[in-house]
Amino acid sequence: MTALLSDVFSADGPLASGVPGYRLRTQQLELAERIAAAMADNSVLIAEAGTGTGKTYAYLVPALLSGGKVIVSTGTKNLQDQLFSRDIPTIRKALKAPVKVALLKGRANYLCHYHLERALADGRFLSRDDAAYARHIARFAKQTRSGDKADCADVPENATVWGMVTSTRDNCLGQDCPQHKECFVLAARREALAADLVVVNHHLFFADVMLRDEGTAELLPACNTVIFDEAHQLPEIASLFFGESVSTAQFGELARDTQIAALASARDCLDLPGLCASLEKAARDLRLTLPVEPARFALLQLEGRAGFESGVAGVVDGLEALAGLLETQAQRSEGLDSCWRRAGELLLRVRNWQNGGQNGAHADFVRWGETHSHSLQLNATPLVIAEIMQKQMSGHPRAWIFTSATLAVQDDFSHYCAEMGLADASSARWESPFDYARQALLYVPKGLPEPNSHGYSEAVVKAAFPLLEASHGRAFFLCTSLRAMRRTHELLGEQLERAGLDLPLLLQGERSKNELLERFRRLGNAILIGSQSFWEGVDVRGEALSLVVIDKLPFAPPDDPVLSARIERMKSAGRNAFMEYQLPRTVINVKQGAGRLIRDESDRGVLMICDPRLISKPYGKRIWRSLPPMKRSRDVEEALAFFASPAVAGS
C-alpha cells in the first residue's frame, strides 16, 4: 500500500484533484505510511501529529484502502458527525473507494418508539416547551430513517424531553419491547455490523467493551483495526468505564418508571406506589446530605457528612423492598419485569460501592462521590488502567492506532505508554507544518504574583488587558476553574466599561458550546471566556482569534479524590508522582490550550501564559519546550507590537 499512498497524496493524485484546497504535506504522507504499516502488521502505533498535519486524512486513506474492517473512535460526537458527514464522503469520492460506512452512537442518541409512545400517552412533561418538543419529535419519528436526535432540527439536543423519549441501558425492554422490530438502536447496530468502516466515539467504545451493551461488542471480534483519534482523552474515559458508578437519578427514574408500569398493569398492587415514593424520598434525602454546589468528594469527606451513611442505607432498604415486591408482579408486564431487573442491578451496584469497588477490590479502586445539580453519583474508579487495557487489547490480532496532536512531553511518550499499558507500542512524532516562529509569539508577563495568592485573577486581567485592546478582542481567555472563569468575566466587564471599549464578552455556559463558537466567529471582535470545554476540540481559523490567554498552568486540583489516591499509590511505591503523572498531564493540557491559536497557514497570534511558574520553576522549561517552536518574550511592548502587523491588525 506504501507505493499507492505516495500516489494518493501526491501533488497530482486523486486527493489533489478531488479535495478543494488540498496540497501535499510530507508529514501527512509519512504518518499515513506508518499507520498503513501498523495495519498490515497488526501492531500498535502511537502517533503525535502537530496541528495542520492533516492526521484525519492520514488515517482515513489507509483505512478506506485497507480492505479490512476498521473502527474509528473519536473524542466527541461533533467530531464523529464531521467525519461521517464531511471527511469520509470527501475522501471516498476522491478515491472512488466502494467502502460501506456506518455511524454508531450510544443508545441515548436514538429515539425510542416505546418511550415516545408512553411519554405522549402519559402527558406529564416538565414544561410547556417539552410538551411542544414532544409533538415535534412525534412528527420526526414518522419521517426519520436513522432516529438520530442530531437530525431533529426543531428540538435542541440538550432539551430535557429527550430523556423521556430515548432508552437507557437500564430501562430498555430488549426483545420484550413491542416495538423491537422498528428499533432505531438495533437498526444502527445492524448497519454497523455490515459496514467496512464504523465511526464511534470513545465513550461508546469503552461503555461497550465493559458493559457489552452498545453494539461494538459484536463489532470488535470482526474488526482488523481500531483507530483512536484525540487519543489523549483515553486515560480519563477508560478510567470512567473500567470503574463502576451508580446515581441517585437512577433511583428516581426507577421509581417513576415503576409507577407508570404499575398504573398500566398492576393497579391492584396497592403497596407499589408507596414503595416507589419511599425510594424517591430516600434518593432525595441522600442527595441533600451534600451541598447544592456541584463538587467532588473523597470517601472520607462523604463518610464525615452527617446523615450520609444512613442515607445510603436508606436507599439500599428502599431498593430491597421495591425489588422484593416487584418480583411478585414481574410476570404481569414487560415494563414491570424490566423494573424488577433494574432494581436488582442497582441494588448490586450500591452494595458493591459500599464494599469498596468492583467485587470489593479495595486496593485497586478509589471510592468517591460527585454532586450534580439534582443528583449524587457514587463512583468506584480503578487507580491503574494499564492491565485492564492490555487485557482488552489481547486476543484477536488487530492493529491499534492511537493518534492526537498532544501525546508526548517533548519527544517522550513514556507517560502515555505507562498509563495506557502500551509498553510494546512503537511511537512517532511529527511537528506541525505551520511556521510558528513567524506566525506566533509566546508571551509570559513579568511581575505576576503566585497563582494561589489573593487577587491573582485581578492581576491576570490587568496584565492581559493591554493585549486585549491591541488585538481588538478576538481572544480566548482560558481559565483553569469555573470560579476563576466567572471572576475573570466580572473583572473584564468592569474594565471594558471603564475603558469605554465595546468588545462583546461571551461566557461558557451562557449558551451551548456550538452557539458560542458560531457567535464568536460571526462577531469578529469578541472575547470568549471559558474553562475546560474550550481548551480542546475547538477550531477557529482566521482573524476572529488572534490572542489566547491562559490564566494558570492547568494542574489538576490536588484534592481531586482520584488524583490524590493515585498520587498516594505512586508515592508508596517510591515513585515521583509529580514528575511521572501530574506534570505530563499538565503539559498535554497546555499543549491543547495553545493549539487553539494557530489553525491555518495564514493565522497569526499571541499565546499569553500568565503563570509565573513557567519561568520560575525548574519544571517550567519542560512545559514550554513541549510547545510548538514559537518566538518567546517577556516584554509587553514586543507582544503589543506583534498586533501592529497588518496581518493581525483590526480593520
In this structure, the answer to whether residues 479 and 554 fall within a common structural domain is yes
Alpha helices per DSSP H over 42-96: 55-65, 77-82, 88-95
Q: Is there a contact between 71 and 225 (Cβ–Cβ < 8 Å)?
A: yes
Q: Is residue 86 located within the same domain as residue 167?
A: no
Within-domain flag for 345: yes
Same domain for 329 and 310, yes or no, is yes
State pLDDT tens for residues 177-205. Answer: 888 899 999 999 899 999 999 999 999 88
Average pLDDT of the chain, as a whole number? 90
| 213 occurs within a structural domain | yes
pLDDT digits (tens, 9 = 90+) for 390-417: 888 887 889 999 999 999 998 899 999 9
CA distances from 377 to 353, 374, 445, 499, 552 (A): 11, 10, 41, 45, 29
Sorting pLDDT into bands at 50, 70 and 90, what band is 40? Answer: very high
pLDDT, average across residues 49-65 = 94
pLDDT band (50, 70, 90) for residue 357: low
- Give the pLDDT of residue 472: 94
Within-domain flag for 255: yes
Q: Which residue matches cell numbers 494499564? A: 386
Report pLDDT for 490. Answer: 96
pLDDT of residue 648: 45
Which residue among 316, 338, 356 closes a domain?
Answer: 356
Contact status, residue 469 vs residue 549, Cβ threshold 8 Å: no
Q: Contact, 38 vs 44, CB < 8 A?
A: yes
Check whether residue 94 and residue 209 sit in a common domain. Answer: yes
The C-alpha torsion from 479 through 480 and 484 to 486, rounded to 10°, is 60
Cell of 259: 409507577
Q: Is the pLDDT of residue 651 over 60?
A: no
Are both 440 and 413 inside the same structural domain? no
- 270 and 347 fall within a common domain: yes
The domain in which residue 393 lies consists of: 2-100+195-241+385-430
Same domain, yes or no: 282 and 410: no
Q: Where residue 468 falls among pLDDT bands split at 50, 70, 90? A: very high
Last residue of a domain, one of 397, 430, 463: 430
pLDDT of residue 56: 95
Read off the DSSP letter of residue 101: E
Contacts of residue 518, defined as CB under 8 A and 6 or more positions apart, other chains included, come to none
Residue 365 lies in a domain: no
Asked whether 327 and 266 are in contact (CB, 8 A), the reply is no
Q: What's the structural domain count of the chain? A: 4
User: What pLDDT was estimated at residue 220?
Assistant: 72
Domain membership flag for residue 344: yes
So what's the pLDDT on residue 464? 97
pLDDT band at 243 (very low <50, low <70, confident <90, very high): confident
Give the per-residue pLDDT at 1: 62
Q: How confident is the model over 451-475, as a mean pLDDT?
A: 95
CA distance 560 to 538: 26
Instruction: Please tell me which residue, 423 or 478, carries the higher pLDDT value.
Output: 478
Task: Check pLDDT > 90 for residue 610.
Answer: yes
Q: Check whether 550 has a pLDDT greater than 90.
A: yes
List, for residues 298-343, the tens digit of each pLDDT value. 999 999 999 999 999 999 999 999 999 999 999 998 889 999 999 9
Name which of 80, 104, 253 is nearest 184 in CA terms: 104
Q: Is the pLDDT of residue 274 over 90?
A: yes
**Domain for residue 379, yes or no?**
no
Q: Is residue 291 part of a domain?
A: yes
37 and 119 share one domain:
no
User: What pairs with residue 632 in β-bridges?
Assistant: 442
Residues 168 and 307 in one domain: no
| Burial of residue 40, with CB atoms counted within 10 A of its CB: 0-12 exposed, 13-18 middle, 19 or more buried | middle
CA-to-CA distance for 451 and 553, rounded, in angstroms?
9
| pLDDT exceeds 80 at position 213 | no
CA 162/CA 133 separation, integer angstroms: 9
Q: What is the pLDDT of residue 216?
A: 52
User: Does 215 have pLDDT greater than 70?
Assistant: no
What pLDDT is recorded for position 373? 84
175 contacts 79 by C-beta, under 8 angstroms: no
Statement to judge: residues 447 and 508 lie in one domain: yes
Give 412's DSSP letter: B
State the Cα angle at 173 between 171 and 177, rounded to 5°.
140
What residues have CB less than 8 Å from 564, skipping those under 6 apart?
298, 558
Please indicate, yes or no, if residue 648 is contained in any of the structural domains.
no
Count, residues in the chain: 651
Query: Do 265 and 236 fall within a single domain?
Result: no
Q: What CATH number should be reported for the domain holding residue 584?
A: 3.40.50.300
442: closest CA among 571, 549, 358, 332?
549
Q: What is the pLDDT of residue 72?
A: 96
Considering the chain, what percentage of its residues have pLDDT values greater than 90?
70
SS3 content of the chain, % helix, strand, coil (to 5): 55, 15, 35
**Same domain, residue pair 405 and 338:** no
Predicted confidence at residue 361, as pLDDT, reads 46
Strands 365-371 vs 376-382: parallel, antiparallel or unpaired: antiparallel
